[in-house]
Amino acid sequence: MKLPRLPDLLTTANLSCGVASILLASQGRLTAACALVFVGALFDVLDGLAARALGGGSELGKQLDSLADMVTFGLAPAFISAIVPWKALQFAIDAHRDFGPPSVRPGDLFAEPIWATASCAMVIAIASMWRLAKFNIDTRRTTGFLGLATPANALLWASFGSISWGIGVRYGPGANELQSHVGAFMADPLQKLIMATALAGLMLSSIPLPSLKFKHFKWKGNEVIYLLLGIGAVLVLLYGILAVPLILIVYLLSPLWGRLFPRPTEN
């Protein structure tokens, strides 16, 4: 039996982060659950770097990567998206059980907003599965992505979970208002379902979006990447975890402002 290659070990670490995130989210420990999605994303970057450093990935590594990504970037954010209203309702049930007649009953778990929460989680997981499967067999990709990448979608939902609990927030201009809007959004199952459906459409679309992988480190040809990294760094310094949804908006708009830079000609 061959020993696992370094990229495959890093992929396994990514999977471990996803499993741990799900377990912690199910216990209502959102801070660690959200953080582990970000750690899993780091391992996902490192396994790609390790594979390229060792001369390229293997077919086994490709399959392991997709399976790990499904857990960390498909199932884990689905749990995180669902945990806020579920825990809030359970807290309400417990409070009424202890202090008075239960105006909120366990049967209310099956009310329409909770079905919207469950539907939101399922949309995230199902869209991630389809996205990963399409990504594996799509031969049209050259230097960028077609559609929103699964990790980007997952990081958005993980950041929403952290923001709604005030974890990792830096209070730059307008931060209080943005945090308030995100908290209200995460507590509204119907709004979350609409957002999840819109993001699922982006994930399964053929909209060309830039990859953040460098082929070289010159400015020419990498203008969009350098600007995204620069804008992202400034936003993180100002807003902390609140920067993630702002960075995603800038990223999704990059095909428009990226046209300001001429594409390098092929020799």
Which pLDDT tens digit goes with each residue over 37-74? Answer: 999 999 998 888 888 777 766 778 788 888 999 999 99
pLDDT in tens, 117-156: 889 999 999 999 999 988 877 766 656 678 899 999 999 9
pLDDT, position 256 = 80
What's the CA gap between 116 and 120, in Å, rounded? 6
Q: Is 168 left (phi over 0), alpha (psi -120 to 50) or beta?
A: left
DSSP E strands: which ranges in the chain? 144-146, 208-210
For the chain, which domains are there? 6-143+151-207 (1.20.120)
Burial zone of 66 (CB within 10 Å; 0-12 exposed, 13-18 middle, 19+ buried):
middle
What's the CA gap between 122 and 116, in Å, rounded? 10
pLDDT in tens, 89-102: 454 445 444 444 44
Q: Which residues pair with 209 in a beta bridge?
A: 145
C-beta of residue 47 within 8 angstroms of C-beta of residue 16: no
> What value, to the nearest 5°, has the Cα angle with vertex 232 and ends 229 and 234?
110
**Residue 158 C-alpha from the chain's centroid:** 6
Among candidates 232, 254, 210, which has minimal Cα distance to 155? 232
pLDDT, position 258 = 67
Backbone φ and ψ for 252, nearest 5 degrees, come out as -65, -25
What's the CA gap between 237 and 230, in Å, rounded? 11
C-beta of residue 103 within 8 angstroms of C-beta of residue 96: yes
What's the CA gap between 14 and 8, in Å, rounded? 10
Backbone φ and ψ for 142, nearest 5 degrees, come out as -125, -80
pLDDT in tens, 222-250: 777 888 889 999 999 999 999 999 999 98
Look up residue 56 and give its two tokens. 């390229």
pLDDT, position 214 = 60
- Which of residues 2 and 9 earns the better pLDDT score? 9
What's the mean pLDDT when you consider all of the chain?
81
- pTM of the complete model: 0.82
- Average the pLDDT over each of 5-14, 43-52, 87-96, 258-267 and give the range with the smallest value: 87-96
